[in-house]
Amino acid sequence: NAGVTQTPKFQVLKTGQSMTLQCAQDMNHEYMSWYRQDPGMGLRLIHYSVGAGITDQGEVPNGYNVSRSTTEDFPLRLLSAAPSQTSVYFCASSYSPGGAGQPQHFGDGTRLSIL
Amino acid sequence: AQSVTQLGSHVSVSEGALVLLRCNYSSSVPPYLFWYVQYPNQGLQLLLKYTSAATLVKGINGFEAEFKKSETSFHLTKPSAHMSDAAEYFCAVSVPGTASKLTFGTGTRLQVTL
């Protein structure tokens, strides 16, 4: 099993450009989520999904869009990149969407710089 | 809403010394608590979790944590630090019925010196 796979690993964008961060998991997990990690701030939830066709906003959703057409994939779209979106982005998945204490499995992250 | 506070953004210990990383939580309902470790340029890896069973939880790599409801704490300990323990450690909380959403602390970077 590959677990949670994120692509690309690194990306540099110019302000105003758009892009999609890819996330795929092969564990048949219902729950998937996107976090951003910034120095001194821990990880903050951007968007999450409890199953195909169902998404919701997290703590910092502005400027990001998601969709979940399959169980395996959960792409994150930056609509118009801004320097404030320079961060490390992590995708995670877990078995249970019901807060039943299942741990989340994390990808290795995408390091994104916006110039 | 739930929250987590990690005291000390940087902790330095000598190899062989006790490791103590502090985590306090706030939750209006019984929480689930997690410790994750992050090595440089990697994702987060689960160390251990508390899900209302035993209050003393043992994890990987010799780490353990004790859930203390009266103190709203979930501190992480290891009796003897190893150089390979140098990493960033995150405490996180989730509560039932919130779709597994995790709220993270700001992290503690552990340095291990000879």
Measured CB to CB, residues of chain A less than 8 Å from chain B are: 4, 31, 33, 35, 40-45, 48, 50, 56, 58, 90, 92, 94, 96-109
Q: How far is A41 from chain B (nearest CA, A)?
A: 5
Nearest to B106 among A41, A94, A108 (CB): A41
pLDDT tens across A20-32, in order?
A: 999 999 999 999 9
Block residue for tokens 């000598």: B14
Alpha carbon distance A50, B99 (integer Å) = 7
Cα(B110)–Cα(B107) distance, integer angstroms: 10
Output helix, strand, coil percentages for chain B, rounded to the nearest 5: 5, 55, 40
With an 8 Å Cβ cutoff, are A104 and B107 in contact?
A: no
Q: Helix, strand, or coil here: B85?
A: helix
Residues in chain A within 8 Å Cβ distance of B42:
108-109
Closest chain A CA to residue B41: A108
Choose, out of A9, A37, A46, A49, the residue to mutate when testing the contact with B (most B CBs < 10 Å). A37
Longest dimension (CA), chain B: 45
CB atoms A40 and B106 under 8 Å: yes
How close does chain A come to B81, measured CA to CA in Å?
23
**Do the Cβ atoms of B97 and A43 come within 8 Å?**
no
Q: Strands A110-114 and A10-13, how do they pair? A: parallel
Give the pairing of strands A4-7 and A19-25: antiparallel
Rounded to an integer, what distance in angstroms lies between the CA atom of residue B10 and that of residue B44? 18
**Residue-level pLDDT, tens digit, chain B, 114 residues:** 889 999 999 999 999 999 999 999 999 888 899 999 999 888 999 999 998 778 999 999 999 999 999 999 999 999 999 999 999 999 999 887 776 788 999 999 999 999
DSSP letter, residue A81:
-
Q: What is each CA distance from A90 to A12, A34, B77, in whole angstroms?
A: 16, 6, 26
Closest residue on chain B to A96 (Cα) = B100
Is the Cβ pair B49, A96 closer than 8 Å?
A: no
Residues B26 and B66: their CA atoms lie apart, in Å, by 16
Give the DSSP letter of residue B98.
Answer: S
Averaged pLDDT of chain A: 92
* CB distance A21 to A33 below 8 Å: no
Q: Which two tokens stand for residue A17?
A: 């450009």
